[in-house]
Amino acid sequence: MDITIIYGTETGNSEGLANDAEAKLNELGHSAKVFDMADVTVEQLKEAGVVLVVTSTWGDGDAPSNAEDLHDALESSSEDLSGVAYAVFALGDSSFDNFCQAGKDFDEYLDKLGAKRLLPVVLSDGDYDDTFPEWVENVAEQLS
């Protein structure tokens, strides 16, 4: 199955995790590709089929700079994404009031546009070494 993995990052953690997910999913027989959110449009997502979102939150609830355009485009979009299945893995710091807000936003926007949620959004507070591999396994299980 073709899987599009998109990442939003300021420090590189989400990009590294997206690349890990790509390797694992390809190893399991899927065809996964990673894209920087700065290079992705809502129209491209509409054609993606399966979209995995791996994003951090910057500042107090903001999308990372490379994810701002896609975040804003999804928020204001009226595209029909009912042909898309998705899952979101959000990284954040629970000491902030708007913990993992960017990930929560992507989950909300994709759902609002009709995309099918494969798994509940995962909110990670620095423990992604444990939670991310499990999330990738759960995604793979949902797709098989």
Helices H / strands E in the chain, number of each: 5, 6
What is the C-alpha separation between 14 and 5, in angstroms, rounded?
A: 11
pLDDT tens, per residue, the chain with 144 residues: 799 999 999 999 999 999 999 999 999 999 999 999 999 999 999 999 999 999 999 988 899 999 999 999 999 999 999 999 999 999 999 988 999 999 999 999 999 999 999 999 999 997 788 899 999 999 999 998
What is the C-alpha separation between 96 and 100, in angstroms, rounded?
A: 9
Phi, psi of 12 (to 5 degrees): 105, -10
